[in-house]
Amino acid sequence: MVPDILVWISLAAFLGGIGWKVWGWFKGSLRREGGWGRLGAALRGIYGTILSRKVLVLLKALLLDVVLQLRTYREDRYRWLMHLLLYWGFGLLIITHALGKVLIEGYVSTAMPFLFLRDLFGAMALVGASMAAGRRLRGIPRFRSAPMDVYAIVVVALILLSGFLLKGVRITSYRAYLGMVSEYAALSEEEGRALEAYWVRNFGLVSPNIREVPEELVSEGAEVHEFSCASCHASPRWAFLSYGISKAVRPLARPLDRFGVPGGLRWFHVLLCLFALAILPFTKFFHLISVPLSLLLNAVIDPRRSSPLNLETKRMVELDACVHCGTCTAKCAVSATTEVIPNRAILPSEKIPSLKTLASGKPLGDEGLREILEGVYLCTNCLRCTVSCPSGIDLQELWFEAREALLQRGLVDPVLLTPFSFYRGLRREDVGEGYQRPILSLRERISRAFGPPVEPLSIGPPEVLDLSSDAQTFRVCFSCQTCTNVCPVVSQYERPKEVLGLLPHQIMRACALGLREMALGAPMLWMCLTCYQCQELCPQGVNVTDVLIELRGLMVKALKEGRDEVRPVSGM
Amino acid sequence: MADAGRHPNIRILTNTEVVDIEGRPGAFTVTLQKHPRFVEEDLCTGCRTCQSFCPVLMPNPFDEGLGEARAISVWCPQAVPAVAYVDRERCLHFQGKCGICLTVCKNNAVNFQQKRKRGKVNVGAIVITAGYEVFKPLKGPYGYGEFKNVVTSIEYERITNSTGPTGGEILRRSDYRVPHKIAWIQCVGSRDLKFGRSYCSAFCCTYAIKQALVTKDHHPDIETVIFHNDIRTFGKGFEDLFNRALSRGVRFVRSRPPLLRENPENGNIIVSYVAQDRLIREEFDMVVLSVGVVPAPGNRDLGRILGLEVNEHGFFEIHPFYPLEGADGKGIYVGGNSVFPMDIPDTICSSGAAAATAAELLASQRGSLAVKKQYPPERSVEGEEPRIGVFVCHCGTNIAGVVDVREVVQYVKGLKDVVYAENQLISCSNEGLRRITNLIRERGLNRVVVAACTPRTHEQIFREALREAGLNPYLLEMVNIREHCSWVHSMDKKEATEKAKELLRMAVSRARDLAPLKEPSLKVNPRALVLGGGLAGMTASLSLARQGFEVYLVERERELGGNLRHLHYTLEGGDPQKLLQKLRQRVEDEERIRLYLGYELLDFSGYVGNFKSVLVPVGGDGDQVEIEHGALIIATGGKPLEPSEYHYGESERVLTQLELERMMATTGIPEGIRTVVMIQCVESRNEKRPYCSRICCGEAVKNGLKLKETRPDLKVVVLYRDMRTYGFFEDYYRKAREKGVLFLPYDPERKPEVELEGDGFKVRWWVPTLGQDFELVADLLVLSVPVVPDGNRELAQRLGLPSTREGFFMEAHPKLRPVDFGTDGIFLCGMAHYPKYISETIAQAKTAALRAAVLLSQEEIRGSGAVCEVIEGLCIGCGACIEACTYGAIRLIEVKGGKKAQVNPVICRGDGLCSARCPTGAIRLNHFTDEQIMDQVDALFEA
């Protein structure tokens, strides 16, 4: 019915798109050259892996991470269930329904078990899709869904719903019935009437001819059915969901049939599927390919030993593997900063699109560049995003690479260097000489902006610190010093106050006293590793880390007001 | 516990829970369920023989699992009832083995067939004192359960206790060494929302200080450090304890270090914290976690059965003005730690008050179910030669396992005047006691010696046996051959047997001299005089009146109310003025209360049950009134100190907390005021007044909240030393911070300085948290001044009662007898005792009323026969004995030959101090006469 040419076109678009995307993995880059050399390195790597014991690691990752999706399970059981239903429901639907004729010998869509399985898998996917929609509607703090997220859910839902509706209407369709009879059975008129009666009684058919169904006719029809149809048409009741729909549309069955709705629905369903297939590589659905790949790559690639070229390629795959699920943003230690600085690129999940643009070599624009700069520099390298990513993306590494890539281009946000200086220090070899320079210049700027307090101090109005309600919890601090005593940064120094300016509990106190300058000037804000130990152990429920992070945001804002923000620094 | 266990009118049902309740106040039927303990309570004598044979070793629950116990055992040395129980989980019998206890129990008390039993009891009122549990920090950063040398304070309590697992030697758990350095960490499971416990457990600070001091007593060189966030020694005498700890070198660190680490090399615990801006890593041999109060786990179920509400913390909900009655509490009264975390004296007051309220309800039926035992008439032994019977108890194997009891009996039979002697398996068993009674009759014994355990617990029991045989109970002599012999000499059986013989020889010798004694009795005047018409006085009077006693209520001022008149709000949101009106009305309507407004006490004389007081109108005009009464309750209250610091009196913008409260309730806060500064501990907790006034922190929080409520724009700053918002008051402290009241500590060494400046003030102080000087312009200065005694000293002198250094009345025992005095018949409550909150005052007043009612409800009171007696002929009337007597039992009377001393035998406690002091030997202490004691001593050296 659907011209094969359409199938071939969409298949060609699909494969072409994939080829283009894969080439993008080798061509795109943040810090290293892309091109054929990278492809060669990748082939060598694949060859080496498949022929080594690493293949076992690969199989393990395939089972645990791809098939069972244990990473997702660890982070969020709701999402795991949702995703598993979608993944397995839709996947099996493709095998047992869309590709049934191609893959399965003796496949007949109306026979058992296919009739039942289609509805079963479809229902699974439908439950999964509604769970996904529910999750998006419920929302994740500070996270917003993108149009692509909506597209993905809507397309899946439309395909499934149109499929169910199609089947439901088809059950009742007299036209479809006649088509089947003429195609598969040669019946006398009497037999035809009997079969029709049987189908009306048992198979949900709505016939224009029959109102009352006499019993003997039905039992006669049963025989005809047994003889002509039963071998390849099971009772539609097995298609439990569609059958239910057929019952619902029964009163409208006649007009629907007359206006050719079943046929129209079928067109809609198939064309939608083909369309989705054709543009799949350019949509979120590409993660069907990129996420398993990312998971497998991360299982076998060792950052210390693998070729830098392959690492770069891996990062490009990872950029494609982000499904914008929001897990990283929910876990992000510095996401509270967005409460005081309205920059979405602070959130990890929102950095990915900009990084993709950067990697592809396209221009990002001044505003975009400023935002991504701020975003990558405000990260504290707490590793939570990497640990939690269900797609196994090493996000923290991406941020590091992005920072260094921007540094290579001479782009640096001088205000925002300190918190990751530890990490930079640890990776001195990657960074090169002079890694301390930005820190020192930052310190100087801060101390110029927020001079030491002059005694005696007075109590300021509490409104001077415009923090979110989470951070306003500093009010209930009763100075027990738990935060200070458990802080791993504090415990690095003999005389911590000399280095940190104020200790965490003193910062809470300074906030309560409205001592804005004093609080914002404390180097502690920059040293915080966002390990959250203080917040976890605070007996009074003060969100200590959130306070520190938001204060840091405030000070960034204060420092930047009216100043040049993005500027090339020579000699970096 | 022992008193409750022995009391004829208290039936103790252990292992029992409430299943159901029906009926109404005054007539409840309660269904109880008693779980089996597999030992018959009326047969078991607590001899612990079973325990010594039981092969099952298990962690001792009484020792917090630190020591060892057996599967059948008596819970703890002072268990009441002292009856063994079987741990069903561990006992081998339930696994089809063993059963040795069945055979070794000579009284056949072990019964493995015991089943769960249900029964009903009819009661008029119910008092709930379901207690509390302690917090177990099993999960969390402290490392408890993981590091051996981190223990809870309850475990440490057992470690320092002489009956504990280490025999009272302080040893740490990893290697049983004496620790050199111990840290206490406060607020474990208290004031911690992370553990879901926002409240303060009220007594941990004090017990940690006590433990540190006890540790110093054991080994003065052990270094002790207490990590805290506010030391809360708000109770009477507790600030002294704190100061004593400071002077004995206990270190206090204001820092909360919840993350502990273990040094794997030596098992020491590393505490890391910041103090004086320095990072300090200190190693301790042991860390004690001061764990807090957790409500009893059954509160919710019990609440459901009884229809009581449970608050968000899991304690029974009460109204602060009716601190004993649960939400719907007619007939059901709650007290102690079921309603609020509290220490021993507060618990006694709270539960005593619950009992008092029950007594009010049941007043019409008082005594109707009381048990009174009937005895045969007493046989005179005058002129008889001593016929001594001796009974030597095996106490299972407790005694007989060491001392050769048969040899001892043989020996005793040879002593002079001993006409009968035998050994008994268990003398205190019903069978043993019956045998003693019968033998006294059959053999005509007129003196009885029982060689068994301690008279402290058993003398009364054996005296009963004598009385049942018609013998005067003072003809009994007890010898303790268990604690004093078999237990302490268990390694040397031969010597122990010899010692038992000697002890018995001495006892027989003393028994020979024993004389029958009469127990004196006194009539009691069933009226009470209550001094002070404030909250405490009114509450006590009403309680007594409702219990059916006539009360004379005396108030110096022309109106009732005392300090309650000046209160307008409470933390919990109650209206004290309403309470005052209600109480006044009730007092005035109560027929049994005679009010003397505007009167004070002029003269006071008499003794328990028979006091005589003279009242005069204040100012001296008018007639004196003479009153006779059986009991006296002192509720004369206290008053706020008029401060001499901080420009008080110089500016009308300097107020006390009470004045601020009045301002808010009447005129409101003047418009121009923007900043209010409160200073805590003004002229208290210093050299001159070294006590904490207990209520001022709550008052500051209350007024701070009220200020913020009426004027959210106000800046309210509270300068404090330690915030002492104990118990659930902590929630209000947090709420005040939430609302923006600023609480800032100050250092007592660097007190805030205040300068007058225009209409306002300039306040300067040093904030220790930030290490910086602050300056603030304030428009209103509020001083938290202490409650000081109100004329107590003169009254104390007039009544001959002791008072504390600060001038509050001194009760008989700060912990165990918080409303009594050494002098019988006089009771104490309210702020005359110490500053306290409304609910605490009500509780203490009711308890004082209950204690008075216990006295007044008896037609006559009986004293002991073993008291002092003056031999008139020898007395020279010098009065030395009067000074020696601590109970005021002796006075001089005029007789023909001049003045002679006379002992009131009911008041006398028989301590013999007067007898020792008397220069002429004119005072004899009956039952411990010189003759008896000398003969006993002589007998020791006879052999």
Inter-chain contact A481–B772, Cβ cutoff 8 Å? Answer: no
Residue of B nearest to A498 (CA): B277
Confidence at A204, pLDDT banded by 50, 70, 90:
confident
pLDDT tens sequence across B12-44 = 999 999 999 999 888 999 999 999 999 998 888
pLDDT of residue A417: 58
For the CA atoms of chain A, what is the radius of gyration?
Answer: 31
At A528, the pLDDT band (50, 70, 90 cuts) reads: confident
Mean local confidence (pLDDT), B111-137: 93
CATH hierarchy code of domain A460-568? 1.10.1060.10
Residue B713 forms contact with A (CB below 8 Å): no
The model's confidence at residue A568, banded by pLDDT at 50, 70 and 90, is very low
Domain B133-294 has CATH 3.40.50.150: no
Residue B98 zone, left/alpha/beta (φ > 0; ψ -120 to 50; rest): left
Residue A479 at interface with chain B, using a CB cutoff of 8 Å: yes
Residue A518 to residue A449: CA distance in whole angstroms: 11
Rounded Cα distance, A521 and A453, in Å:
9
| Cβ contact B775–A480 (<8 Å) | no
Chain B: give the shortest CA distance to residue A89, in Å: 41
Question: Is B734 in contact with A476 (Cβ distance < 8 A)?
Answer: yes
Q: Do B256 and A510 touch (CB under 8 A)?
A: no
Q: What is B388-513's CATH number?
A: 3.40.50
At residue B372 the predicted structure's pLDDT band, cuts being 50, 70 and 90, is confident
Fold match between B527-639+789-861 and B642-785?
A: yes
C-alpha span between B141 and B137 (Å, rounded): 9
How close is the nearest chain B Cα to the Cα of A489, in Å?
11
At B68 the pLDDT is 87
Contacts of B747 in chain A (CB under 8 A): none
The answer to whether B738 contacts A503, with C-beta atoms less than 8 Å apart, is: no
Angle between helices B405-413 and B493-513 (to 10 degrees): 40
Per-residue model confidence (pLDDT) at position B325 = 62
Q: How far is B794 from chain A (nearest CA, A)?
A: 43
CB-based contact A481 B740, cutoff 8 Å: no
Given this model, what pLDDT does residue A564 score? Answer: 37
Nearest C-alpha neighbor of B676 from the set B709, B645, B717, B713: B717
Is B278 in Cβ contact with A506 (below 8 Å)?
A: no
For residue B123, the 8-state DSSP code is: E
Tell me, what's the pLDDT at B484? 92
Q: Do A491 and B737 touch (CB under 8 A)?
A: no
| Residue A435: predicted pLDDT | 64
**Angle value at C-alpha A238, between A237 and A241, nearest 5 degrees:** 75
Beta carbons of A536 and B194 less than 8 Å apart = yes
| Residue A1 clears pLDDT 60, i.e. is over it | no
Looking at the DSSP bridge assignments, the partners of residue B58 are: B69
Asked if the C-beta of B276 comes within 8 angstroms of chain A's C-beta atoms, the answer is no
Whether residue B624 lies within 8 A of chain A, CB to CB, comes out as no
Max Cα distance, chain B (Å): 98
Exposed, middle or buried, A224 (CB in 10 Å: 0-12/13-18/19+)?
A: buried
Q: Is B663 on the interface with A (CB under 8 A)?
A: no
- Chain B residues with CB-CB distance to A533 below 8 A: 259
Q: What is the pLDDT of residues B319-351, one digit of tens each?
A: 888 776 654 457 899 999 999 999 999 999 999
Residue owning tokens 């060609």: A12
pLDDT-wise least confident of A74-78, B223-227, B264-268, B410-414:
A74-78
User: B228 to chain A: nearest residue by CA?
Assistant: A480
- Give pLDDT tens digits for B142-159: 999 899 999 999 999 999
A445 pLDDT above the threshold of 80: no
* Chain B contact present for A462, CB below 8 A: yes
The pLDDT assigned to A451 comes to 66
Instruction: State pLDDT tens for residues A451-507.
Output: 666 777 888 776 777 788 888 899 999 999 999 999 999 998 999 998 898 999 999
Higher pLDDT among residues B163 and B88, named by residue: B88
Residues of chain B with C-beta less than 8 angstroms from the C-beta of A452? none
- The domain spans of chain B are 2-126, 133-294, 310-365, 388-513, 527-639+789-861, 642-785, 867-926
**Domain B527-639+789-861 fold:** FAD/NAD(P)-binding domain (3.50.50)
Tell me the average pLDDT across B579-605: 94
CB atoms within 10 A of CB B606: 15
Contact A513 B258 (CB under 8 A): no
Determine whether the interchain pair A459/B770 forms a contact, defined as Cβ–Cβ distance below 8 Å: no
User: How does DSSP classify residue B906?
Assistant: T
Q: Are the Cβ atoms of A456 and B743 closer than 8 angstroms?
A: no
Which ranges in chain A are annotated with CATH 1.10.1060.10? 460-568
Q: Which of A166, A157, A161, A181 is nearest to A246 (CA)?
A: A166
Among A107-121, A432-446, A458-472, the range with the most confident prediction by mean pLDDT is: A107-121
What SS3 state is found at B391?
strand
ipTM of the complex: 0.84
Residue A449 clears pLDDT 80, i.e. is over it = no
Q: pLDDT-derived band of residue B1, with 50, 70 and 90 as boundaries?
A: low
**How buried is B7 (Cβ within 10 angstroms: 0-12 exposed, 13-18 middle, 19+ buried)?**
exposed
Mean pLDDT of chain B: 91
Per-residue pLDDT at B327: 43
The share of chain B scoring above pLDDT 70, in percent, equals: 99
Q: Name all contacts of A112-117 with Cβ < 8 Å and 24+ positions apart.
A: A112/A234, A112/A238, A115/A234, A115/A236, A115/A238, A115/A239, A116/A234, A116/A238, A116/A239, A116/A240, A117/A92
Query: Would you call A570 an interface residue with chain B, using a CB distance cutoff of 8 Å?
Result: no
Q: Which of A477, A497, A537 sits opposite B277 (nearest CB)?
A: A497
Tokens of A134: 């529910």
CB pair distance less than 8 Å for A475 and B229? no
DSSP-based three-state secondary structure for B662: helix
Task: Identify which of A453, A476, A481 has the shortest CB distance to residue B274.
Answer: A481
CB-CB contact of B227 with B250 (8 Å): no
State pLDDT tens for residues B188-221: 999 999 888 999 999 999 999 999 999 998 899 9
Could you please state the CATH topology (level 3) that the domain comprising B642-785 is classified under.
FAD/NAD(P)-binding domain (3.50.50)
| Mean of pLDDT values over B844-873 | 92
- Closest CA relative to residue A515, chosen from B255, B744, B708: B744
Over residues A529-553, the pLDDT tens digits come to 888 999 999 999 999 999 998 998 8
Q: What does the pLDDT average to over B738-754?
A: 93
SS (H, E, C) B822-891: CCCCEEECHHHCCCCCHHHHHHHHHHHHHHHHHHHCCCEEECCCCCEEECHHHCCCCCHHHHHCCCCCEE
Q: What is the pLDDT of residues A152-163, one digit of tens each?
A: 999 999 999 999
Please indicate whether residue A97 or residue A455 has the higher confidence score (pLDDT): A97
pLDDT at B403 over 50: yes
pLDDT surpassing 50 at residue A566: no
Question: Residue A567: which pLDDT band, with cuts at 50, 70 and 90?
Answer: very low
Least Cα separation, residue A427 to chain B (angstroms): 28
Average pLDDT, chain A: 85
Task: Please tell me whether residue B692 adopts helix, strand or coil conformation.
Answer: coil
- B254 at interface of A, judged by CB pairs closer than 8 A: yes
Min Cα–Cα distance to chain B from A543, Å? 12
A478–B723: do the CB atoms touch at under 8 Å?
yes
pLDDT (tens digit per residue) in A282-334: 999 999 999 999 999 988 888 778 888 888 899 999 999 999 999 999 999 88
In this predicted structure, the answer to whether residue B367 has a pLDDT above a threshold of 90 is no
Looking at the structure, give the CATH architecture of the domain made up of residues B867-926. Answer: 2-Layer Sandwich (3.30)
Which of A457, A481, A517 to mutate: most B Cβ within 10 Å?
Answer: A481
Strands (E), B510-621: 521-523, 527-531, 550-555, 593-597, 599-607, 610-617
Q: What is the pLDDT of residue A330?
A: 92
Peptide bond into A147 cis (omega under 30): no
Among left, alpha and beta (phi > 0; psi -120 to 50; other), residue B73 is: beta
Listed by number, the residues of chain A in 484-523 with a beta carbon closer than 8 Å to a beta carbon of chain B are 484-486, 490-491, 493-498, 502-503, 505-506, 509-510, 512-513
Rounded mean pLDDT of B802-830? 91
Q: How far is A437 from chain B (nearest CA, A)?
A: 29
Mean pLDDT computed over B105-130: 92
At A394 the three-state DSSP class reads: coil
Using one digit for the tens of pLDDT, what is the confidence trace for B692-726? 999 999 999 999 999 999 999 999 999 999 999 99
Task: Give pTM, 2 decimals.
Answer: 0.79
Residue in chain B closest to A500 (alpha carbons) equals: B277
**Closest partner CB to B141 (pick from A503, A510, A537):** A537
Per DSSP bridges, beta strands A567-568 and A411-412 are: antiparallel
| Residue of B274, B733, B739 to mutate when probing chain A, most A C-beta within 10 A | B274
User: What tokens appear for A435 in the block?
Assistant: 């890694």
CB pairs < 8 Å spanning A and B: 116
Half-sphere exposure of B17 (CA within 13 A, CB side): 11
More confident residue, A383 or A450: A383
Contact with chain B for residue A478, Cβ under 8 A: yes
Instruction: Choose among B734, B743, B745: nearest Cβ to A540.
Output: B734
